[in-house]
Amino acid sequence: MIEKIFFKRKYLKNGNRYLLQQVQKFYSNKTTNTKIVNIMNEKDPSFLGIQTIFTNELKFVNKECYDTLPTFRILNSLHKHFQLPKDLKLDEQILIKIYHKMITLNIMDKILYESQRQGRISFYMTNTGEEGIQIGSAAALTLEDIIYAQYRETGVLLWRGHSIIDFMNQCYGNHKDASKGKQMPVHYGSKKLNFVTISSPLTTQLPQAVGTAYAFKRSQKNACTICYFGEGAASEGDAHAAFNFAATLECPIIFICRNNGYAISTPSQEQFKGDGIAARGPAYGISTIRVDGNDVLAMYYATKTARELCIKNGKPYLIEAMTYRIGHHSTSDDSTVYRSTDEIDHWNCYTPILRYRNYLESIGLWNKEQDRELNKSIKNSILLAFAEAEKELKPCWKELFTDVYHTMPNHIWKQMHSMEKHINEFHKYYPLHLFKQSNNHNNK
């Protein structure tokens, strides 16, 4: 079903016939009776790289010449008495698991956001209002697929099996943090779960993800790459390079754009004037769909279908997931400076969690008592992990000098040795009791 609504460059087997139909539609208006001439003249050579027709009417094309791409969804905003189509049935355990993970992400966000406000961690970014995109898409993937995320895909890693304590250790940057405290909070990564470590510079993950997808193509691996990014990141030059490389090299990659309305403080209408990000896909030769990102089931089935087609056809697919960022961009941002509280309150009535919970209640899989128990249980487990991570020691200070080179070069060793002498001399001025004791890093 969903495969039919992926927008492609050619709908018909006869591409020329389709082009002729589109041009006839485009040029048939009340202001002109000019006939299209020289259409597909067999005597004329074909221009390289395009399929074209000829006309003697001078007319510029703009977005008003085309219909807006539709938005695919399954659950409507009223979320009452809705039954899934027969071909979109999901196992009841999966339906419940999806809700469980959405609630877990939401509660963890609240706890870690407040902990930053209390000065217990240095930074945080919430996912509030975007849980549907993350959990819905992640549920449709396998652990063989490699994820390149931006910085609002915590739910994807949560679904893949990253533990709550691992999230907490990373945000605290303690010695149990896999990145040894060298990353900002929320810059997660997991080699075991095929989740490439997040980096702060915007859009760098897009061309990197295409490179991984190309490697999959060369190795004929039965998997694909999934690359998440925001609509603001699509304004960067790296996005163009990634889309074009993916299309021309025919790489098995799924681009998932979170269009949440704001690139930090810049609203989407100030970022672009075209039909969103989805309109760019066909122009690059990428099959594309626009999805209601606040509908977790729509995200699941769109991603599932995209993955099947991506691996089957060995080509890229683009999903523009429409949503709304309810929280601030980060703990360094106050979004009420550039948007009204009325706007935020309005979208709070249409959150993916609310819509999905009402759907589960309507089919008898959930009730208010179960919801209270789930929220209480998840909150307690997160607070326990939070308290445990907070007690852990910081990494040894010598970790400042590790993990750049396999064998520490002489100039780095000299710097570490110089700092060691400094700390030995002035140890009483440093809270060394908060740091893990030194390991042997004296190998040159």
Q: Kindly list the catalytic residues.
A: 114, 200, 329-330
What 3-state DSSP class applies to 419?
helix
Helix (H) or strand (E) holding 256: strand 253-259
Shortest CA distance to 293 belongs to which of 343, 331, 347, 336?
347
Q: What are phi and psi of 435, to 5 degrees?
A: -115, 150
Q: Which residues are bridge partners to 196 per DSSP?
A: 148
Q: How far is CA 64 from CA 61, 68, 214, 275, in A?
A: 8, 9, 36, 10
Contact residues for 392 (Cβ-Cβ < 8 A; gap 6+)? 169, 172, 174, 175, 176
- One-letter amino acid at 107 equals I
Shortest CA distance to 227 belongs to which of 216, 327, 325?
216
Contact residues for 37 (Cβ-Cβ < 8 A; gap 6+)? 54, 55, 56
Find where tokens 């910085």 sit.
151
How far is residue 391's CA from residue 12's CA, in Å, rounded to a whole number?
63
